[in-house]
Chains A and B, each alone.
Chain A
Amino acid sequence: MDRNNLQRQVAQIRRSLIEQEFLDEQQFVQLEDLQDDANPNFVEEIVTLFYTDSTRLFHNIEEALTTRPIDFTKLESYMHQFRGSTSSIGAIKVKRECTQFKEFCLAENIDGCIRAFQKVRQEHETLRIQLETYFQLRRQAGLART
């Protein structure tokens, strides 16, 4: 596939990520604006950092969900941390599910928390797959530096 076609595909995926509300346009554009010759892959680096850090936070949340008695304050605190990261990269759908989880925490509804956490994980994984495709194509199109 020639470079122009690839670049068109990249732009299409990016537009779709925003239109389908996977990503907040303003936040994502701000991250893109932080890319320059010295940091050409900043967005991909931040997203990679987000997913690496998520692993740790998810582990903490899983542990807190299975520990008895449930410490809802701790649960809320872990999710608050994760929600902060989702907000910083503009992950709208993931953040939405985090807010749901937080509400179940405040209501001390453990079943609600468990269901909400499953949704957080689903949206988190869906976004990861979408972004992986986007960054891979971006590299192929010569838009990323290796």
Chain B
Amino acid sequence: MDDHHQLINGVAGRNPETNKITALIVDDNMVNQTIHHRLLHSLGIENQVVGNGKEAIDVHCSGKIFDLILMDLDMPVMNGIEATRKLRAMGIRNTIVGVSSRSVNEHIQEFVEAGLDDYQEKPLTISKLLSILRKVRNQAEL
């Protein structure tokens, strides 16, 4: 089994019906939504897309749980910082990774302090995603 498959199949908390890792993409940008959806799909990760932080909260309130949340920072209605804080306050402990093209440290610091497990600068790549999946796996093993 190659490294990619080892990483993906070795993660606990998978969808019991399909045996796949699940992810939620939270991003208001349609181009990024489409690319990230396709990137995750290419790695065998079942994923859903929402357009802002409030929709991310709502989907969790509906009872859905995800192994991984890719959270954009700048979004209308509710941004990534507020959404991350709210999810953590709701008791969501799964991996939340902040993704943004912001490079100013103060924005990133506040985002991390809201409860991120990791932060990756956009654009997302396969190698960044694999690094994220390692974190998902490590978290599942704890």
Q: Hey, which bits of chain A sit against chain B, CB under 8 A?
A: 26-27, 30-31, 33-34, 39, 42, 45-46, 49-50, 53, 77, 80-81, 83-85, 87-90
Contacts and interface: CB of A to CB of B under 8 A. Distances in A.
Contact of B101 (A27, A39, A49, A83): A83
Interface residues of B, number: 17
Contact of B31 (A33, A34, A53, A80): A53
Contacts of B102: 80
Contact of B38 (A34, A83, A84, A89): A34
B32 A34 contact: no
B38 A42 contact: yes
Q: What is the interface of chain A mostly: helix, strand, loop, or mixed?
A: helix
B39 A84 contact: no
B101 A46 contact: no
Contacts of B28: 81
A88 B123 CA distance: 5
Contacts of A90: 123
A47 to B, nearest CB: 9
B89 interface: no
Given A31-B35, A34-B39, A88 B122 contact: yes
Contact of A49 (B30, B122, B123): B30
B34 interface: yes
Contacts of A87: 101, 122-123
Nearest to A81: B29
A75 to B, nearest CB: 14
A71 B29 CA distance: 22
A39 B74 CA distance: 29
B126 interface: yes
11 contacts: A27-B125, A30-B125, A49-B30, A49-B34, A80-B74, A84-B29, A85-B31, A87-B101, A87-B122, A87-B123, A88-B35
B35 A46 contact: yes
A56 B139 CA distance: 40
